[in-house]
């Protein structure tokens, strides 16, 4: 069975601080895919990134960066120089090769204060 843990329930930072959201996953499959989604107050989930299990390269996209480490089964997400618009709930999700469905973590609520 697959499982995703996001141990941080809520995080509050002041604007311009860096913040890292943790994601730890469990799966016995050797091929799997990891995702991050953002859920702003309006409610819809916005896809941010997909990473497959064979690619451990870190990725940077503007102020966002992701650190994938298979050795610790983690896929952490860092926001650099946070902004108020980053305030949202962030979900980490896992999908395995022979499964068709996502397993979502419980989410981390990020509040960026001005």
Partner 1 sequence: DGGITQSPKYLFRKEGQNVTLSCEQNLNHDAMYWYRQDPGQGLRLIYYSQIVNDFQKGDIAEGYSVSREKKESFPLTVTSAQKNPTAFYLCASSIRESNQPQHFGDGTRLSIL
Radius of gyration of the chain (CA): 14
Q: Is 47 in the site for partner 1 (CB under 8 A)?
A: yes
Minimal distance, residue 81 CB to partner 1, in Å: 26
- Find the binder of partner 1 among 20, 69, 72, 99 (CB under 8 A): 99
3-state secondary structure of 34: strand
CB of 63 to partner 1, least distance (A): 20
In the complex, the smallest distance separating the C-beta of residue 34 from partner 1, rounded to whole angstroms, is 10
Which of 25, 35, 68, 75 forms a contact with partner 1 (CB under 8 A)?
35
Q: Rounded to the nearest 10 degrees, how much is the dihedral formed by the CA atoms of 54, 46, 76, 9?
A: -140
User: Binder to partner 1 among 50, 56, 58, 69 (CB under 8 A)?
Assistant: 50
Q: Which residues pair with 67 in a beta bridge?
A: 76
What the block records as the tokens of 72 is: 């610790």
- Quick one: residue 106, left, alpha or beta (phi over 0 = left, psi -120 to 50 = alpha)? alpha
Q: Which residues form the interface with partner 1 (CB under 8 A)?
A: 9, 33, 35, 37, 42-47, 50, 52, 91, 95-102, 104-107, 109
């Amino acid at each position: 069975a697959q499982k995703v843990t996001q141990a941080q329930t809520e995080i509050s930072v002041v604007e311009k601080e860096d913040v890292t959201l943790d994601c730890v996953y469990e799966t016995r499959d050797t091929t799997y895919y990891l995702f991050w989604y953002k859920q702003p107050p309006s409610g819809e989930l916005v896809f941010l990134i997909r990473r497959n299990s064979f690619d451990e390269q870190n990725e940077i996209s503007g102020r966002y960066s992701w650190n994938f480490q298979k050795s610790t089964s983690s896929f952490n997400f860092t926001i650099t120089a946070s902004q108020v618009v980053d305030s949202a709930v962030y979900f980490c999700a896992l999908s395995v090769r022979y499964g068709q469905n996502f397993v979502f973590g419980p989410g981390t609520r990020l509040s960026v204060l001005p």
